[in-house]
Amino acid sequence: MSFGELLRRKAAARRMAMAFAAVIAAIAAIGTIAAPAGADALGEIASWGKPAALPLNPERPADEFFQTQSFGVDPVDGSIYVLDGYDGSVDIDPTSADEYRLQKFDSSGKELASALIPRPLGSAGAEETRPYMLGVAVDHAQGRVYLLQARKGADSGHSQSPVAEKLLVFSTDDSTGTLHAPAEIPSGAITLPDPEGEDTTLRYPAAITVDPATHDVLILARQLEPGLLEVAVIDRLSASGTAVERFVDSTGVMEENFDGGTRPAAGMVVSPDGQKVYVTSGSEGSQGRVRTYELPAAFEGATPEPLSAIKSKKFPAANTEPSARGRGGPNLAISPDGSTLYFGEEILDGESSPGQYLIRGISIADGSTKVLYGGGETSCRITRNFPGIGVDQEGNLFVLDRGDPQAAPPYGSKVLEFGAGGSGCPLPNPRFKLDGGDPNAQHLDVQQGDTVQFEADTSQLGTAIATGFEWDLDGSGIFATKLPVETTTVSRCYDEPETLTAALKVPLENSPVGELPPTTKTITVESVPPQAIFESLRSSEPEGEEVTTFKSGESVTFNAEESFDLDCSVEGRTHELQNYHWEFGDGTGEDTAEPVAEHSFANTAAGSVQRTVGLIVTSASAVKSAPFKQALTIEGTPQAGGGGNPPPPGGGSPPPPPPSGETKPQPKKTSNAAARRRKALAKCKKLKGRAKAKCIKKASKIGRNG
């Protein structure tokens, strides 16, 4: 029987034995597991730690960190383990420290216990052969803390590759203030098996985690296949260090080429019930993604199933960098109810800079983003790539921000706690502007007939990606105007006086809180009275030009067809009005439904008289206009005592009558006044508010003498 077959049989038998225990554990956990915090009031709860001052002081305080390497969270009691450099060179290269320092803290940052871990030179005496640690995995039930030690040259066949060498094991007991080896493993180390005849060397180790159901330790690394092809592998070891089984991604499913390039698998975690194993890998390129895969906990015949490909974007362009293998601690965590995966990512917008790092929580069920931590200005700010991630049983998320102790000034090197009740983490905040104004302004006053421009402001979306814009422009509550993401502006004309609530809804590809509520603003449309305008014409010449002097008894036609009310038509006004109220200036008046009225003026005196005619129109919405007035001259009536023309002043003969066939000169006509008024009114359409009203008033008077 081959070694591989032996491992598979042992794994199958062991898995059956653990199945019942796993079910019991899951049932018991139901009473204590808290679901992740909801979308409201999420953010940074607390933070502690700071960069160590240089040159290093071996007696520095516990919360002054240097070259933080690994990190772990006890999922039950929330205690935190931090591994950093204790002494040695200040070179940022993590291989330069002579000793590591492993410390245990409570969740508030109080040191409970610590231990120093030596880093001796390898057999060749070369600096790069010093062992280094990656990952901290905590098994609360077994009372153990695991660290994975790797080193170049640990395997003579792979002298230039980091190779997983052993597991260092510490007890979680902190009663003496010193972290020590558990009683059952007095050496404090488990050497990783290397069966003869099979090349099972774990190259480039990336992560370790604990199966909470079986208490096995899982190691994510790479294995050299025939043809010098490297593939991802997951090694499962029992708590005693016995090889249980190994998953080999022989077809490279977890590292398939997508989005322009692939990064090796980097993070790994086991579901709380021990039934699933989750692994993340990432891609390079201008539209990077973090891809998550699911495996059954029993590896035999398993094929990784992709769960999601989360694209992260800081408008208008971004790139997602998955956490590097092993650095900073666990790069993947899971909520205590098993519904949410958390991983680190980097948002690139030009050059990298402190603060461009996030922790994203995605739904295992549908891949949607449930929460997003980071991106704050002061609090809720993750300054360094490859953060360590851990979750306690209350659903609070802990992050190791490795920072840079050699920056000027130094930053990071601290532990942050995120969850319900925190603050400082910005969420997508869709906004819009009205007529190019301040996007924070909540109200706009316009006048009837004005056109308002709406412009979506995407600067507040953060890492979320808009997929379009949905507008409710009439306050009906129906988002009837749906536009593609490329179209950020839309306009609407308002022809009825009202106060309405316009709203914008922005569907997002990866909102941290799912669908966002609409963003609203109020618009008050102020009433503008209709405008009364009329022309006075001889009834005998209804198509002629306007005149203002008439004979006594002559029929006058008043044409008010140019009267209007503002609306949203192409012309910008309507001539359909409800009523025309005429005052003829001689004590009589009339109401008409049509814009035309006729009237005759009597003047029995010898001299001319003035009559001021007024018009008030009423719009379809029952709004009355201001009076429009026009002064007319009514000639006097010839007196009795002689026919013909009256004698001229001072006596003498009257002027001779005009020759046969000639007509009496007519009063001077207004030249093209109506056309000039229409042209001027058309220009008013381009204006808004009071400027528009003033323009209309001025244009209406063109060619008028009253």
Q: What is the tens place of the pLDDT at every residue in 258-275?
A: 444 456 778 899 999 999
CATH 2.120.10.10 positions along the chain are 3-420
**Contact in structure between 130 and 139 (CB atoms under 8 Å):** no
Structure token pair of residue 488? 């950020």
Task: Compute the distance between CA of residue 359 and CA of residue 343 in angstroms, rounded to an integer.
Answer: 6
The answer, yes or no, to whether the previous bond of 409 is cis (omega within 30 of 0) is yes
At residue 663 the predicted structure's pLDDT band, cuts being 50, 70 and 90, is: very low
Residues 6+ apart with CB under 8 A from 280: 265, 266, 267, 268, 290, 291, 292, 293, 322, 331, 332, 341, 343
User: What fold characterizes domain 3-420?
Assistant: Neuraminidase (2.120.10)
Q: At what angle do helices 689-700 and 673-684 cross, to 10 degrees?
A: 180
Q: How confident is the model at residue 337 (pLDDT cuts 50, 70, 90)?
A: very high
In this model, does residue 45 exceed pLDDT 50?
A: yes
pLDDT at 670: 41
Calculate ∠ Cα 409-57-172, nearest 5°.
Answer: 100
Model confidence band, residue 373 (pLDDT cutoffs 50, 70, 90): confident
308 beta partners: 292
Cα separations in angstroms, 319 against 171, 354, 403: 41, 16, 21
| Cα–Cα distance for residue pair 265/281, rounded to 1 Å | 4
pLDDT score recorded for residue 308: 58
Alpha-carbon Rg for the chain in angstroms: 43
pLDDT value of position 262? 53
- The better pLDDT of the pair 195, 464 is held by 464
Three-state DSSP at 458 gives helix
Characterize the bridge pairing of strands 596-600 and 628-634: unpaired
Q: In which band, very low, low, confident or very high, does the pLDDT at 424 lie, cut at 50, 70 and 90?
A: confident
User: What is the model's pLDDT at position 458?
Assistant: 67
Q: Cα angle at 175 between 174 and 178, to 5 degrees? A: 55
Which has more pLDDT, 618 or 650? Answer: 618
Fold held by 535-637: Immunoglobulin-like (2.60.40)
Q: What is the per-residue pLDDT for 556?
A: 95
- Is the pLDDT assigned to residue 666 strictly greater than 80? no
Distance in angstroms (rounded) separating the CA atoms of residues 287 and 257: 14
When mean pLDDT is compared across 1-5, 87-91, 368-372, 535-539, the lowest value belongs to 1-5
Selected residue with higher pLDDT from 244 and 94:
244
Residue 131 has pLDDT above 50, yes or no: yes
Taking all residues of the chain, what is their mean pLDDT, rounded to a whole number? 79
The whole-number pLDDT of residue 136 equals 93
The mean-pLDDT minimum among 241-255, 648-662, 686-700 falls in 648-662
Give the closest residue to 372 by CA, choosing from 36, 90, 119, 665. Answer: 36
Q: Report whether pLDDT(328) > 60.
A: no
User: Range with the lowest mean pLDDT among 172-181, 432-441, 470-479?
Assistant: 432-441
β-pairing verdict for 535-538 and 519-526: unpaired
pLDDT at 303 over 60: yes
pLDDT at res. 390: 94
pLDDT class of 89 with cuts at 50, 70, 90: very low
CATH 2.60.40.10 domain range(s) in the chain: 431-526, 535-637
Could you tell me what percent of the chain has a pLDDT over 70? 72
Nearest Cα to Cα of residue 15 among 390, 365, 277, 292: 277
Residue position matching structure tokens 């990783």: 192
Q: Report the pLDDT value the prediction gives residue 572, as an integer from 0 to 100.
A: 81
Beta strand pairing status for 443-447 and 519-526?
A: parallel
Instruction: Pick one of 3.30.450.20, 3.40.190.10, 2.60.40.10, 2.40.160.60 as the CATH number of 431-526.
Output: 2.60.40.10
Q: Which residue has the tokens 């503002």?
A: 566
| pLDDT (0 to 100) of residue 360 | 84
In this prediction, residues 453-458 reach a mean pLDDT of 87
Q: Name residue, tokens 């004698």.
A: 647
* pLDDT for the residue 650: 47
Whether residue 375 contacts residue 359, with contact meaning beta carbons closer than 8 Å, is answered with: no
Both tokens assigned to 336: 């205590």
What is the number of helices (H) and of strands (E) in the chain?
3, 44
Rounded Cα distance between 407 and 640, Å, is 114
Confidence of residue 287 (pLDDT cuts 50, 70, 90): very low
Q: Which residues pair with 397 in a beta bridge?
A: 391, 418
Query: 570-583 burial, b for 16+ CB within 10 Å, e for fewer?
Result: eebbbbebeebbbb
Tell me how far CA of residue 282 lies from CA of 260, 289, 384, in angstroms. Answer: 11, 6, 18
* The dihedral formed by the CA atoms of 54, 57, 60 and 62, expressed in degrees to the nearest 10: 80
- Percent of the chain beyond pLDDT 90? 42
Beta strands of 123-215 (E only): which ranges? 132-139, 144-152, 162-171, 189-191, 203-210
Whether residue 63 is predicted with pLDDT greater than 70 in this model: the reply is: yes
Contact at 8 Å (CB) between 157 and 165?
no
Asked if pLDDT for residue 550 goes beyond 70, the answer is yes
Predicted confidence (pLDDT) per residue in 374-394, tens digit? 888 888 889 887 788 999 999
